Amino acid sequence: MHPVAEQPTLISSVRRALHLLDAVAASPRPATAKALSRATCQPLPTTYHLLRTLVHEGYLRRVDGGYVIGAHVATLGTQARAQLRTERMRTSLQDLHDQLRAAAYLTLYQDGEIRLLDVVDSSSAPRVDLWVDLRDSGHATALGKAVLGALDPLERADYLDRHRLPDLTPYTLTDERELVRRLEHQHGPAVDRQEYSLGTACVATPLRIGMPEGVVVGAVAVSVPSARLARTLLRVDALISTARSVELALVG
């Protein structure tokens, strides 16, 4: 005798309420209680009880002629889209980590600051010890240099006016004039050669949204032991492809 498959426990009242929401959303005009009762094959008294509850909770709204979707559903839709964007970006970072066997990072440039949004790493490809916040180390990180190199001169000058250039390792560039010169001549990916952390190198590319040049909104990067930098630079196409995927997720 085959064991009977365990059936999920379903709450009938919840199912009926969800069916009502579907029916209201499918209606091209405000739906009456009677029309919704027929559409969902529910008794009219039950339909009225559920409609009152859904209106009270903000999922539906009563208007002349019937019921329409309420503001709370729109809020859920916005939150769901934000979650979907986050999942898509993290999937892109995970793919980059898997391809390059490197810790992958995503930053956003918001309100004039470089903010770390997500990191995907593993025991075989651990993240860098972020001992100095990115907001204070943009000059020494590939993530920061990717953003600063892509900014227009006025935005870059504003950032540098608001931030010191602390000496983090013997390789950190702290001369602002020389930093600007290198950023202005930065072609291809930005590179951190042990400037943030000894023994570690990073490679990054900026994120842009809009045409033709686009607004700089952040950067994507990977970190590897410094001995692997040359090999990683040969795979910069994977980094750029990930950046394009993240850009699409941000505007999706």
Contact 220, 106 (CB under 8 A): yes
pLDDT at residue number 214: 74
The answer to whether residue 91 is domain-embedded is yes
Q: Which CATH number belongs to the domain containing residue 144 in this structure?
A: 3.30.450.40
Q: Domains in the chain: how many in total?
A: 2
Query: What is the C-alpha to C-alpha distance for residues 199 and 179, in angstroms, rounded to an integer?
Result: 21
Residues 121 and 223 in one domain: yes
- Averaged over successive runs of 10 residues, the pLDDT of the chain (252 residues) comes to 61 90 92 94 94 92 92 78 84 97 96 95 96 93 96 95 96 96 93 97 94 82 97 96 94 76
At residue 224, the pLDDT reads 98
Q: Is residue 2 part of a domain?
A: no
CATH number of domain containing 59 = 1.10.10.10
Neighbouring C-beta atoms of residue 89, cutoff 10 Å: 22
Q: What is the pLDDT of residue 236?
A: 96
The pLDDT assigned to 85 comes to 83
N-to-C CA span, the chain: 51
- Amino acid 4: pLDDT: 53
Angle at which helix 176-184 crosses helix 153-162, to 10 degrees, equals 150
Q: Does 102 lie in the same domain as 47?
A: no
Same domain, yes or no, for 114 and 234? Answer: yes
Are β-strands 103-110 and 113-120 bridged in parallel, bridged antiparallel, or unpaired?
Answer: antiparallel
pLDDT at site 35: 94
**Does residue 147 sit in the same domain as residue 184?**
yes
One domain, residues 214 and 245: yes
pLDDT of residue 81: 75
Does 3 map to a domain? no
User: Which of 69, 98, 116 lies at the terminal end of a domain, its last residue?
Assistant: 69
Q: What is the pLDDT of residue 152?
A: 92
The pLDDT of residue 3 is 55
Domain that holds residue 18: 12-69
Using an 8 Å Cβ cutoff, are 143 and 127 in contact? no
d(CA 123, CA 125): 6
Whether residue 4 is contained in a domain is answered as: no
pLDDT value of residue 40: 94
Give residue 212's pLDDT.
Answer: 59
- In this structure, the answer to whether residues 54 and 87 fall within a common structural domain is no
Domain shared by 215 and 97, yes or no: yes
